[in-house]
Amino acid sequence: MPGSPLRRVIASTLGAALAVAMAGVSPAEAASKPSSKVPKTAKAGDGARVTKQAWVTNHEVDLTVKSVALGQTVKVRILVPKAWKTSTTKRFPVLYALHGGRDHYTSWTRSTDIETYAYRYNVMVVMPEGGVNGSYTNWYNYGKYGSPQWENFHNFEVREIVERAYHAGTSRAVMGISSGGQGAITYAERYPGLYRYAAAYSGLLSIRSVGVPALLMFTIVGAGDGTDPFRIWGVPGADDVNWRQHDPLYLIQRLKGTGVYISAGTSGKPGPGDNPKTAPWDIGLLSERVVGATNVTFLQKAQQLGIPVTSHIYGNGRHAWPAWTREMHNAWPKIMAAIGAKRV
């Protein structure tokens, strides 16, 4: 009969299957997608907390974090491994991936194949928001400090949340591109032992070299969000004490015992994957040449101090994703070995 219980069950089942199919996922995938309910433990020691979690796929989740350190709400994306489950008691090695300036937390999944690489290992990848200026520091604010405190957000709030609520372990690595690369090395230096490995792809590894502070100030102003560049590290020269404490080259001795990978171009010419007709005055070529010079200086200093650093200082290559993706591929096995992440 048209209104029989059996017909109603069949119609309901077919309707649900059709809705799922139209959404682009199978019924099995939909059924296995983790709950959107935020764990009660998704909090940091200073009161920062996750207010929302949205699963993009079965192994990719976006967190909305109300941060005390930043005084605002921002996003964090996490890739979880195959064996990850909401109820698991297992802890996983974790890689923190930092984005560059004028970008955001989705940049790694948008511009690289990091999902494919991560899914081959029992590793968790955490990709936090880093701000449009990508400064990766607690802002100086003319000596008054206060918000935003990006360094505290990444190394304390995000870390505590993923370890308390999302099964991240204490075997950690950090990597980044551009200003995120600078942040990766600086974080490993400022918190010795927190990360077993640090990798920087076109990271600015000396922020106090001749001409570099001016380039940084120009880049920050050029972001167009109205930021006063002197609020970040202070006025170059006048506030040199604070600049030194966030300079990867100045802090290099603190990397003893940490695995390090650095890479950058030096020629100011297009490389593989770049448009060969790119003009010589292109900012991506000019900036990479400056960045490459700081990487050469950093490597020389590391060698003088006997600090092991794996490097790939290549000639041609623009300050852009084609080079950074290749370098991520090159560094990946070393990072995974350092944190004990196994292939699955």
Residues 27, 149 within the same domain: no
Residues 19, 161 within the same domain: no
φ/ψ of residue 109, rounded to 5 = -75, -25
What pLDDT, on the 0 to 100 scale, is given for residue 32?
Answer: 66
318 lies in some domain: yes
**pLDDT tens profile 160-194:** 999 999 999 999 999 999 999 999 999 999 999 99
Q: Between residues 25 and 221, which one has the greater pLDDT? A: 221
Residues 20, 132 within the same domain: no
Domains of the chain: total? 2
Residues 43, 88 within the same domain: yes
Residues 119, 192 within the same domain: yes
Between the alpha carbon of residue 173 and those of residues 53, 82, 137, 295, 316, the distances in Å are 24, 19, 18, 20, 28
Residues 18, 163 within the same domain: no
26's CB contacts (< 8 A; 6+ apart) are 20
> Do residues 316 and 264 touch, judged by C-beta distance below 8 A?
no
- Torsion angle of alpha carbons 113, 119, 122, 123, nearest 10°? 30
The CATH number of the domain where 299 resides is what?
3.40.50.1820
φ/ψ of residue 152, rounded to 5 = -65, -40
**pLDDT tens profile 288-300:** 999 999 999 999 9
Q: CA 79, CA 115: separation in Å to the nearest integer?
A: 7
Sign of CA dihedral 18, 20, 23, 26: negative
Residue 180 tokens read as 């995120």
Q: CA 167, CA 180: separation in Å to the nearest integer?
A: 24
Residues 150, 28 within the same domain: no
Tell me if residue 75 falls in helix, strand or coil: strand
Per-residue pLDDT at 8 exceeds 50:
no
Q: CA 196, CA 205: separation in Å to the nearest integer?
A: 19
**pLDDT tens profile 50-108:** 999 999 999 999 999 999 999 999 999 999 999 999 999 999 999 999 999 999 999 99
Residues 181, 57 within the same domain: yes
Range of the domain at 18: 1-32
**pLDDT tens profile 14-63:** 444 334 344 444 444 444 689 999 999 999 999 999 999 999 999 999 99
Q: CA 186, CA 259: separation in Å to the nearest integer?
A: 13
73 forms bridges with which residues in the sheet?
66
What pLDDT, on the 0 to 100 scale, is given for residue 222?
Answer: 81
What pLDDT, on the 0 to 100 scale, is given for residue 133?
Answer: 85
344 lies in some domain: no
> Do residues 181 and 319 touch, judged by C-beta distance below 8 A?
no
What pLDDT, on the 0 to 100 scale, is given for residue 4?
Answer: 46
